Chain A
Amino acid sequence: MRTAYRLALVGNPNCGKSAVFNALTGSRQKVANYPGVTVERKAGRFESASGVVFDVVDLPGSYSLRGCSPDEEITRDVILGRHVEEAAPDVVLCVVDATNLRQHLRLVLEVMRQGKPVIVALNMMDLAARLGLEIDADRLSKELGVPVVETVAVRKAGLQSLLDRLSTDLPDYIKSHPPQSASWHALNAQDVRQIHSQAKRIADAVILRQGGAHRATQVIDDIVLHPVMGPVVLVIVLFFMFQAVFSWAQAPMGWLDTGIVHLQGFLRHELPAGYVRSLLADGILAGVGSVIIFLPQIAILFTFILLLEASGYMVRAAFLMDNLMGRVGLNGRAFIPLLSSFACAVPGIMATRTIENPRDRLTTILIAPLMTCSARLPVYTLIIAAFIPNLDVGWGFGLQGLVMLGLYAAGVVSALVIAGVLKLTVTKGTAQPLIMELPTYKMPILRDIIIGVWQRLKIFLRRAGTIILGAMIVLWVLASFPAPPPEADLPAIYYSFAGIIGHFLEPLFAPIGFNWEIVIALIPGMAAREVAVAALGTVYALSGSADAIGRSLSLTLQSAWSLPTGLAFLVWYIFAPQCLATLAATRRETNSWVWPSFMFGYLITLAYLASFITYRVASAWG
């Protein structure tokens, strides 16, 4: 006897499929990528009351089986049973939004043409009832010739009839549909028209009473999509979101920081001095800790993104921004990922998954690191304090603040320019049209949000525990070995591999005004941008708390660096690709080493050129 039935969940986008999946499997789900593509594979397992076990896979939402995007290709290939990794499902559960029956029936009809055993979940029956819509489910079942079950996925009980149906009738149902090897070809336009007519006929027959329009959606859209009010609302929403990301995260980030510092102190106290202690406390804890500390920001950011997504507002934001973004060849949906990148490029790059078109998505990933992330702030603050006089330039603006604003603006402007250039060169190809559904507004389901945030955090933590951990160990080795000679009067790092590499690279960086101390600091600073501050502290043989280093380092740098060097260093960090986490995220999301290498290459080239120009111009004026 077989152990588990394979069940594939299929449906149009916005049919409530993910809610059905989450309700069926709860937290027992695995999220991974399909090999070779960046499409998420969501699978899970559940057991019915009578002990029948189901392996469920939640296939990407799709309007047809044609496969217009990598997501839709997966859906098509799995249903047709020709996916390499995924076995053909025993039964296809088509989730249909009852309030949009006619449109969603088309996919059901297309799947049925392949001779698969299909069960239809007539979802969102609660909303249909509220709108006064009445559907004859038995009649629908007769018209289609497949079982139809009414569901309300937002409530657990709403799936009971589906579970009963699955566990009692399923074995016979599957037996009555022997696997067929129907030849498949993509529907041409006339086929689609024919299915349209068929769907219309069935919908007209089974809809007993038409429902009214979703009033709340009309009212909200009249404000949110208003040509003047809409952008104002968008700005308010975004302001609130970033306020939350920075202010709410402050306390938990402080706790994490304190925890890491305590743990470091504990290790230094308990372990004998030596390489093990140094590796654990200075290498791993300091390095991984500097990344882990962003966990609260990422959690808050993703909570907001998922709330905006689930409520239906996200596509409205894309609608408002599409024209402006379209001018540099970006898609409206790139807006939120890019905004997220102001907190940290890693969640920003992860958030590009909402962009369906792979080319637009790649462009967005490649320019995400140009948004000034919070890790650059310590560097900017340090250098501005050291080199920019605290002048009042009038109207309450200080010169230091203006320089900071200018650095942010420089990041945004260069991102837009580069997006335009990439569109014409690297990510060239047929531009995809923007055709997207604006779904009715829905109250986000807490369970779905929690599961979503948790999955993102798990991805982030796994990375911190693997690739970043590995890189930290490598950097620690580079900065610690070989040990300085006993008569050394320079800081230990000077004699290490990092120091040797720094010296070796120094001539390369001399044209942009970087001295060997900076070049050495750039090497451990590869891990994360703000680590460069700590590294400069080490190089200039300073010790103490981060704040104390910051204050005294600022004074040290003032005397040690010329103004052009300071400015060149500042400009370097607008572009510098010095963030392993970002490169690792790019590697993961693009599933290739090509794009992170390309990202590193183009960013470091820009950083070098911009610093060179800054250094030369400032020197000429100086």
Chain B
Amino acid sequence: MTFEFQYENEYHVQQDAESPPMDQITGQSLGSLKLGQKGRVVCISGLENGGLTRLDGDDLERRLLEIGFMEGDEVQILHFGPVGRDPIAVRLGSMIVALRRREADAILVEPCL
């Protein structure tokens, strides 16, 4: 399920000076983790597998950051919804956040084994 995250100019993803260039970030989408699996967030992009979600990318990126997702933090999949394993409940530090698979795909993680 690992794929290379492609940086495309037209999306204007902002990046920190310290963070590695986007084309070097590798990770899999949060939704691809198994139940109970932990991962470390490597990129919150607002882009879902390289495409835009229904929100515009920047809005989704901020929404995810505002509820508490942050690069470098550990996440763990706690529960899946009963139908289509959607939505997904994720442990995030001391809080639990539920989000739909669609939005979870905007978060790239490095699985911890």
A461 to chain B, nearest CB (A): 36
A324's nearest neighbour on chain B, judged by CB, is: B83
User: Per a CB cutoff under 8 Å, which of B46, B94, B98 touches A213?
Assistant: B94
Check A63–B94 contact: CB distance below 8 A: no
Q: Quick check: is B82 within 8 A (CB to CB) of the other chain?
A: yes
Check B63–A68 contact: CB distance below 8 A: yes
A160 to chain B, nearest CB (A): 27
Check A196–B97 contact: CB distance below 8 A: no
B92's nearest neighbour on chain A, judged by CB, is: A103
Stretch binding the partner chain, chosen from B1-9, B22-30, B51-59:
B51-59
- Which chain B residues border A225 with CB–CB below 8 Å? 78-79, 89
Q: Quick check: is B64 within 8 A (CB to CB) of the other chain?
A: yes
**Interface range for A:** 35 or more
Check B65–A196 contact: CB distance below 8 A: yes
- Bound: A64/B66 CA distance, A: 7
**Interface range for B:** 35 or more
B102 to chain A, nearest CB (A): 7
Q: Given A188-B14, A192-B66, A193-B71, answer yes or no on A430-B55 (Cβ-Cβ < 8 Å).
A: yes
Check A326–B100 contact: CB distance below 8 A: yes
Q: Which of B58-96 contact A (CB under 8 A)?
A: 58, 60-68, 70-71, 78-84, 86-87, 89, 92-96
Stretch binding the partner chain, chosen from A150-158, A276-284, A315-323:
A315-323
A72 to chain B, nearest CB (A): 10
- Which chain A residues border B89 with CB–CB below 8 Å? 221, 225, 319, 438
- Which chain B residues border A66 with CB–CB below 8 Å? 62, 66
- Which chain A residues border B66 with CB–CB below 8 Å? 63-64, 66, 68, 106, 192
Q: Given A68-B63, A103-B68, A437-B67, answer yes or no on A323-B86 (Cβ-Cβ < 8 Å).
A: yes
Q: Quick check: is A230 within 8 A (CB to CB) of the other chain?
A: yes
- Bound: A159/B84 CA distance, A: 46
Check B97–A436 contact: CB distance below 8 A: yes
B71 to chain A, nearest CB (A): 7
- Which chain A residues border B94 with CB–CB below 8 Å? 99-100, 102-103, 211, 213
- Bound: A213/B76 CA distance, A: 13
Check A315–B93 contact: CB distance below 8 A: no
- Bound: A66/B16 CA distance, A: 21
- Which chain B residues border A106 with CB–CB below 8 Å? 66
Check A221–B93 contact: CB distance below 8 A: no
Check B62–A221 contact: CB distance below 8 A: no
Q: Quick check: is A434 within 8 A (CB to CB) of the other chain?
A: yes
B84's nearest neighbour on chain A, judged by CB, is: A323
Q: Given A99-B94, A193-B16, A319-B98, answer yes or no on A435-B63 (Cβ-Cβ < 8 Å).
A: yes
A431 to chain B, nearest CB (A): 5
Check B54–A431 contact: CB distance below 8 A: yes
- Which chain A residues border B55 with CB–CB below 8 Å? 430, 432-433
- Which chain A residues border B79 with CB–CB below 8 Å? 221, 225-226, 319
- Bound: A103/B98 CA distance, A: 16
Q: Quick check: is A425 within 8 A (CB to CB) of the other chain?
A: no
B65's nearest neighbour on chain A, judged by CB, is: A192
Q: Quick check: is B110 within 8 A (CB to CB) of the other chain?
A: no
Number of CB contacts from chain A to chain B under 8 A: 121
Instruction: Please report whether the interface of chain B is mostly helix, strand, loop or mixed according to DSSP.
Output: mixed
Check B93–A231 contact: CB distance below 8 A: no
Q: Which of A380-430 contact B (CB under 8 A)?
A: 430
Q: Quick check: is B33 within 8 A (CB to CB) of the other chain?
A: no
How does the 8 Å CB contact mask read for A91-128 relative to B, with 1 for contact and 0 for none? Answer: 00000000110110010000000000000000000000
- Which chain B residues border A323 with CB–CB below 8 Å? 81-84, 86-87
Q: Quick check: is A443 within 8 A (CB to CB) of the other chain?
A: no
- Which chain B residues border A190 with CB–CB below 8 Å? 14, 16
B70, B82, B83: most-surrounded residue (chain A CB, <10 A): B82
Q: Quick check: is A228 within 8 A (CB to CB) of the other chain?
A: yes
- Bound: A233/B15 CA distance, A: 45
B19's nearest neighbour on chain A, judged by CB, is: A193
Check A193–B97 contact: CB distance below 8 A: no
- Bound: A317/B86 CA distance, A: 13
Check B86–A322 contact: CB distance below 8 A: yes
- Bound: A145/B78 CA distance, A: 37
Q: Given A103-B95, A315-B98, answer yes or no on A434-B14 (Cβ-Cβ < 8 Å).
A: no
Q: Quick check: is A446 within 8 A (CB to CB) of the other chain?
A: no
How does the 8 Å CB contact mask read for A168-196 relative to B, with 1 for contact and 0 for none? Answer: 00000000000000000001111011001
Check B70–A193 contact: CB distance below 8 A: yes
- Bound: A315/B86 CA distance, A: 14
Q: Quick check: is A227 within 8 A (CB to CB) of the other chain?
A: yes
- Which chain A residues border B67 with CB–CB below 8 Å? 63, 435, 437
B48 to chain A, nearest CB (A): 10
- Which chain B residues border A213 with CB–CB below 8 Å? 94
23 A-B pairs (CB sep. < 8 Å): A63-B66, A64-B62, A64-B66, A66-B66, A68-B63, A68-B66, A103-B68, A189-B14, A189-B58, A189-B62, A189-B65, A193-B16, A193-B71, A217-B96, A221-B89, A225-B89, A319-B87, A320-B81, A322-B81, A323-B82, A324-B83, A433-B60, A433-B103
Q: Which 8 A-B pairs have the closest CB atoms?
A: A438-B96, A323-B83, A225-B79, A192-B65, A227-B82, A433-B103, A63-B66, A64-B66
Q: Taking A187-B62, A193-B65 as given, write out 18 further A-B residue pairs in contact, using a Cβ cutoff of 8 Å, ordered by the A residue number.
A: A66-B62, A100-B93, A102-B94, A103-B68, A103-B92, A188-B62, A189-B14, A189-B58, A189-B62, A190-B16, A227-B82, A319-B87, A322-B86, A326-B100, A430-B55, A436-B99, A437-B98, A438-B89
